[in-house]
Each structure stands twice: as C-alpha cells, then as structure tokens.
Amino acid sequence: MHKFIVCWLLFLSVSVLANEEASNTITVNGQGKVSAVPDLLKFNISVVEKGRDSVQLSDLANAKTDKIINLLVDAGIKSKDITAMSVSLHPWYERKTNVQKGFTFTRTIDVTLRDFALYPKLLNEMMENNVSSINGVRYLVEDQQGIYLQALSFAVADAKRRARKLALSLGVDVGESVKIVETSNYNSFPVPNRRSLSMVAESSQYLPGQNDVTASVLVTFKIKN
C-alpha cells in the first residue's frame, strides 16, 4: 500500500510538471511566400483519327504523330522534352442512333517548351498540319520543390517574429522552439492558361507573369520566466 501511494504521488508530480511546461509555451502560425517567374511551358497535342478500320487509323495517326515530332525537334525542342507514349482506341458511336460507326484512335504528344517565343510559331505549324487539339497549356517553374522549401524557411522565420511580438506584449521572452508542424501541403503550381488553336499572335502576348508559392507552419516556443 505504501508503494502504491508513493507511485501515485510520483505520477501526480510528473503530470503537474508536464502541465506547467505545456502552459509555459506559446504557439504561433508562420506564413511564407516566394514569387517565381515560370521557366517552362507545358502543353499536349492530340492527333485523332476516326474510321472503320482500326489498323488504318493507327497507321494514319502514327504517321501524323511522327511528322509533328519531327517539326518539334526541328524547332529546337529536345527529345527529352517530348513524350508520345499515350495511345487510345475507343468505339465511335453515332449520337442520334447510338450505333457504332467505327473507332476513334488518339495519339497524345506531351511537350515541354523552354523558349516561350517559339510557342506562336509552333501553333501555326500545328494548325497547318491539322492537329486535332492543343490542351493543358500551363506555365511551370522547373525547380518547384526548391521554391517551396524557400517559402517554408520564410514561414519559420515569420513564426519566430510573431512569437517575439506576442511575447513582448506579454512582458516575457521567447525561448527555443519545442515543436514545429508543417501545415501547408507541397504541390506543384501550374497556372492554367487555356489557348485555342485560333489564338495565334505575337510572342509578346504569351507572358507567364509570376507564380506565388506559399507555405505555412505551426511552431511552439518556450516562454522564459
């Protein structure tokens, strides 16, 4: 019985000390933001053929795809920035009667453009070669994770400033941080910029502007007595 009482008192003492330590802290939210100019322009080109003979459709789409890839390479786009692996074949139905008329064969070419000035010229060439569509146009920053990590460090610095400001108003000093939680989620930050094939103009009209990358953290600091 004596041992039980001693253990119980020890437990209470530890709990009180833990509560006192927890109450002797300050928790703040920190925000960080970095503005970056996109250096990549991504889009995809679709080649679609409709007909009854799936083999013939495949030959037609593949031939057109090869021609488009050659045009892209001749324009100065590196092979590593061109992906043409996506292929799909679906039944083609007449809308009114819902009767199958044949097949739709689609090839998709994903392109990464590093020289934005080439974009209007490429659009013209794609139109001349009767591509079905150009979709998914978006501006990106290549080192997206690096930009986010920079914003994250700014968020931590902001949390420290906020903690000091709050502590000053309370007449106390801020000590070391005891807990930090990343409350933002890292995501790539493409900026949708839909353009149709008919919107071909001077390269000066395709300016990427800036992307803002934000990060946030929740930090707990000790309060000095």
Query: Model confidence over 105-117: pLDDT tens digits?
Result: 999 999 999 988 8
Give residue 69's pLDDT.
92
Which of 108, 119, 16 lies closest to 69, judged by CA? Answer: 108
Residue pair 206/122 in contact by the 8 Å Cβ criterion: no
Angle between helices 119-128 and 54-74 (to 10 degrees): 150
Strand order in the sheet with 173-182: 25-36, 211-224, 173-182
Task: Please say if the pLDDT value at position 100 is more than 80.
Answer: yes
Give residue 45's pLDDT.
92
Task: Please say if the pLDDT value at position 186 is more than 50.
Answer: yes
Task: Please say if the pLDDT value at position 129 is more than 80.
Answer: yes
Q: What is the CATH number of domain 25-37+144-224?
A: 3.30.110.170
Q: How far apart are CA 55 and CA 121, in angstroms?
A: 32
Residue 137 makes CB contacts below 8 A (sequence gap 6+) with 41, 42, 43, 192, 193, 194, 195
CA distances from 147 to 33, 113, 192 (A): 9, 20, 19
Least confident of 6-15, 24-33, 140-149: 6-15
pTM for this structure?
0.63
CA distances from 171 to 164, 165, 175, 225 (A): 10, 10, 13, 10
Strand partners, 138: 42, 192
In which residue ranges of the chain is CATH 3.30.70.2970 found?
Answer: 40-140
Q: Is pLDDT larger for residue 144 or for residue 155?
A: 155
Give residue 128's pLDDT.
84
Q: What is the average pLDDT across 121-143?
A: 86
Query: What fold, for 40-140?
Result: Alpha-Beta Plaits (3.30.70)
Over its C-alpha atoms, the chain yields an Rg (Å, rounded) of 30
Q: What is the average pLDDT across 184-208?
A: 49
Give residue 19's pLDDT.
47
In which residue ranges of the chain is CATH 3.30.110.170 found?
Answer: 25-37+144-224
Task: Please say if the pLDDT value at position 203 is more than 50.
Answer: no
Task: Please say if the pLDDT value at position 13 is more than 60.
Answer: no
